[in-house]
A and B are shown apart, each in its own frame.
Chain A
Amino acid sequence: MNARERLARFLRTDPRDVGCDEAMAVLHVYADLVAHDAGAATERYPGVAAHLAACGPCREDLTGLLAALSGDV
């Protein structure tokens, strides 16, 4: 990917993106779905999936929650 493509990708925004509040409000439901079937989570909550693809901190929260659920901790 060249410089302009990288910039374009960074600047692109997804209109389905629900924002942090809405994503965090259903994070537990989303995490249980992901733990079972990631595709089902995206299908049921496309706006949350779009948000998690773009928001590093919320994605970290999901990763942490999934790690906690996996029982490895």
Chain B
Amino acid sequence: MERVAGLDDESAEWLRLLDPSAADHRAGLDRLHERLLRIARAEVRRRTARIVGPEVDDLAHQAAADAMLAILAKRDTFRGESRFTTWAYRFVILEVSSKLGRHFWRNPPAPLDDEQWERLPDRLGVDPHEHAEARHLAEVVRAAVDETLTEHQRSVFVEVVLHGVPLDALCARDGVTRSAVYKTVFDARRKIRAALVANGYLDPSVRQEESS
């Protein structure tokens, strides 16, 4: 394996261990896997209280195994821009994210057939005392959504913003990337804001930075 220049000792040692020609390669793999598993378990627990007992372990084992495969397949792309462990741990964190996204649908909240616009103020953290303004706000946003969003933007906005479906859960269900879902919501936010500034509901003095 190509030697990465300027590497710290610990990272260099990990790269040496992951080289299949190393005498202690097998032990190195075990050590890395053990760490990934410990991180995956902690990460599942940190993120959700909805998963308990043996399911935590199942999920953590899958995440650690998949991260291990990714690390071994991509180790030659490690360029020493970070410590090796930081680079490697990223894989297991991303695996936990995507597995939790899939897991969401095992026990999803009750299906929401209607668009529940009255939830919007709450989702934005509006003080419950502001009833009247909250109702008005939900109405003007809904009108802006009707006027400006495409069908696709609208359905993603409703699921993510109104119904609180996690981005990674949508990705798992629809087979799209987190980046694509984020961009859809980003564009929707920008268009809704432009409409609400144009009709005078929002103050244009807080400058809308243009994008794309």
List residues of chain A with CB under 8 Å of any chain B CB.
Answer: 2-4, 6-8, 10-17, 19-21, 24, 26-29, 31-32, 54-58, 60-61, 64-65, 67-69, 72-73
**CB atoms of A15 and B210 under 8 A apart:** yes
**Stretch among B12-20, B21-29, B105-113, B122-130 lining the A interface:** B122-130
By secondary structure, the A interface counts as helix
Counting chain B CB atoms within 10 Å of each CB, the highest count among A28, A55, A56, A73 belongs to A28
Q: Which residues of B contact A32 (CB under 8 A)?
A: 82-83, 86
Scan residues 193-208 of chain B and give those whose CB is less than 8 A from a CB of chain A.
193, 196, 201-203, 206, 208
B179 touches A19 (CB 8 A): yes
Interface of chain B: mostly helix, strand, loop or mixed: helix
- Assess whether B94 is interfacial by the CB under 8 Å rule: yes
Whether A11 contacts B86 by the Cβ 8 Å rule is no
Query: Contact at A64–B124, with CB atoms within 8 Å?
Result: no
CB distance from A2 to the nearest CB of B (A): 7
Chain B residues 76 to 123 lying within 8 A of chain A, measured CB to CB, are: 81-83, 85-87, 89-90, 92-94, 96-97, 121
A residues near B209, Cβ cutoff 8 Å: 12-16
The answer to whether B208 and A73 have CB atoms under 8 Å apart is no
Task: For the A-B complex with A13-B208, A15-B209 known, give 19 more contacts whose Cβ atoms are closer than 8 Å.
Answer: A2-B127, A3-B126, A3-B134, A6-B125, A7-B124, A7-B126, A7-B137, A7-B196, A10-B189, A19-B186, A27-B90, A29-B82, A29-B86, A57-B167, A57-B168, A58-B178, A61-B93, A69-B86, A73-B39
Q: Does the CB pair B42–A68 fall under 8 Å?
A: yes
Q: Say yes or no: is B155 at the interface (Cβ < 8 Å to chain A).
A: no
- Nearest-Cβ distance from residue A36 to partner chain B, whole angstroms: 11
In the assembled complex, the CB of A32 is this many whole angstroms from the nearest CB of chain B, namely 4
Determine which of B43, B127, B189, B192 lies in contact with A3 in the assembled complex, contact meaning CB atoms within 8 Å: B127
Given A3-B137, A13-B189, A64-B47, answer yes or no on A57-B97 (Cβ-Cβ < 8 Å). yes
List chain B residues, Cβ under 8 A from A12.
189, 193, 206, 208-209
* Interface residue total, chain B, C-beta cutoff 8 A: 52
Is B172's CB within 8 Å of the partner chain A?
no
Pick the residue among B87, B127, B190 that contacts A13 (CB under 8 A): B190
Q: Would you give the 0/1 interface string for B33-67, flagging 1 where the beta carbon is closer than 8 Å to chain A?
A: 00000110111001100000000000000000000
Partner of B201, one of A4, A13, A54, A57: A4
